[in-house]
Amino acid sequence: MVGRRGISKSLLAALIVIIVIIIVGAAVLLMQGGGPSVKEVKVGVVLPLSGKLAETGADLKRGLEFAVEQINSAGGIKSLGGAKIVLVYGDSAGKPETGAAEAERLITEEKVVAMLGSYQSAVTKTVSEVCEKYKVPMLNPESTSPTLTARGYKWFFRTTPHDEMFAKQHVDFVNWLNKKYGNQIKRIAIIHEDTEWGTKTAEAWKKYFSQAGYQIVKVVSYHAATITSMDSEVDTLKAANPDLVLVASYVQDAILFVQTIKQRNFNPKAILAQDAGFINPSYVQQVGKAGFYIFSREVFNWDLGNKIPKLKEVNDAYKKKYGVDLDGNSARDYTGVWVLYYALEEAGKKAKPTDLEAFRKAIRDALASLNIPGSELIMPWKGVKFDQNGQNILGQGIVVQMMKDGKYHTVYPEDFATTEPVFPMPKWSERG
């Protein structure tokens, strides 16, 4: 009863109980994803969107955005009430210091919850240093320097296999060629661009091919950012008379290399490239017939539709939208977004983006415990599971060869092969 002196004790107690119930209920709703809705989640991306690697950057961007479009169209991040993923870009222009500055901007000003990128290993190195400093999870879909996952970082995760893993597989492939075609490869030359990626690739090749008993007859390095002619580099290789040339080049120097070996009439029995520039759509268009019969390491190929259940549907939709097939770059970045999405779903059950620090940590913890089966991917991998260094231990490569239809076809391993290899390469004088 309310008298002249105010609220009775019994009514006051009842009001207190009601207030407590409201507060507890609100807290429960917030823990379950209720309360103020989260409409979008910002993810930072640092890529080479200008400069010599702008074509590659555009290719990577297509893969990222296609995955985001699919995720958002399917309902977004369900644990966050359907929040949409929004990609916020930084342009490295191919420079490590610029990439680091862009990463810091995305983290401190745009307040991104996680970072994707950054293609070139040298740029990924500096971007990941910034992410480690600010405790922001970084998922790297496409950089392959082995050192990136040898630094003891806690916030860095890489889905693609790295170059030591690929180099071991290259040895297996060459051994297989020799067994199949009568031991025609004994002498090996290497040519590589001189940044983190190319240098570490060359070191891995030298290590594993030497251990396997092959003779390394020449190693040639060059600076991709400034090279305008490869005449002297190709002449040096030609003089060494290798059976096989191993090549680590980005797109513009890959084009220049192939044009030059044709002009200088250099005819090794085989050329095996380390992915990168050799699988870029711009390279494929510009080298034309000169690119026929070159092998390349890949992590993905368009012709695996009958081998990988999800691939054909995704590639058909991608080609309808963009007019080109997925390649190793766009497919890896497409896959990277989906891996991050799975982590975002798990993180959303434990924290919310409104508590940025807690949500970033929840993403990191989710990535560390992910175990995605290969059946959920479009890649020829066994799945995605990260070791204590953040390296996916279930990835693997393939070897492809450009045939006379102007497309790469998978030739190795045998369980993924869709055609037999052409070996040795026809000489330039035999190609007509």
Shared domain for 258 and 403, answered yes or no, is yes
Q: Do the domain assignments include residue 268?
A: yes
Shared domain for 254 and 374, answered yes or no, is no
Under DSSP, the state recorded for 338 is H
Shared domain for 338 and 287, answered yes or no, is no
Shared domain for 272 and 229, answered yes or no, is yes
Residue 405, judged by CB atoms within 10 A of its CB (0-12, 13-18, 19+), counts as exposed
Shared domain for 289 and 362, answered yes or no, is no
Q: What are phi and psi of 56, to 5 degrees?
A: -65, -40
pLDDT at position 11: 56
Cis preceding-peptide flag for 161 (omega within 30 of 0):
no
Cα gap 430→432, rounded to integer Å: 6
Q: Which residue has the tokens 């089966």?
A: 373
Q: Do the domain assignments include residue 5?
A: no
Q: With beta carbons less than 8 A apart as the criterion, state whether 145 and 162 touch.
A: yes
pLDDT at position 16: 59
pLDDT at position 26: 47
Coil, strand or helix at 146: helix
**Which tokens hold the place of 182?**
């009568």
Segment-wise mean pLDDT, segments of 10 residues, the chain, 432 residues: 51 55 48 61 98 93 98 98 98 97 98 97 97 98 93 97 92 98 97 93 96 98 92 98 96 95 97 90 89 93 89 94 92 97 98 97 98 94 96 95 94 94 96 74
Q: Do the domain assignments include residue 105?
A: yes
Shared domain for 372 and 257, answered yes or no, is no
pLDDT at position 211: 98
Beta strands 372-373 and 383-384 are antiparallel
Shared domain for 171 and 266, answered yes or no, is yes
Q: Do the domain assignments include residue 389?
A: no
Q: Which residue has the tokens 């990136």?
A: 148
Shared domain for 259 and 206, answered yes or no, is yes
Q: Do the domain assignments include residue 194?
A: yes
Beta strands 187-193 and 215-222 are parallel
Going from the C-alpha of 132 to that of each of 91, 113, 119, 124, the distances in angstroms are: 20, 13, 18, 12
Find all residues with CB under 8 Å of 226, minimum gap 6, and list them. none
Cα gap 366→82, rounded to integer Å: 19
For the chain, helix, strand, coil in percent to 5 are 45, 15, 35
Q: Do the domain assignments include residue 27?
A: no
Shared domain for 341 and 192, answered yes or no, is no
Shared domain for 177 and 247, answered yes or no, is yes
Coil, strand or helix at 182: coil
Q: Do the domain assignments include residue 272?
A: yes
In CATH, what number is assigned to the domain containing residue 348? 3.40.50.2300
Shared domain for 410 and 279, answered yes or no, is yes
Q: How many domains does the chain have?
A: 2
Shared domain for 150 and 199, answered yes or no, is no
pLDDT at position 279: 84
Per the structure, the complete domain to which residue 157 belongs is given by 40-161+307-384
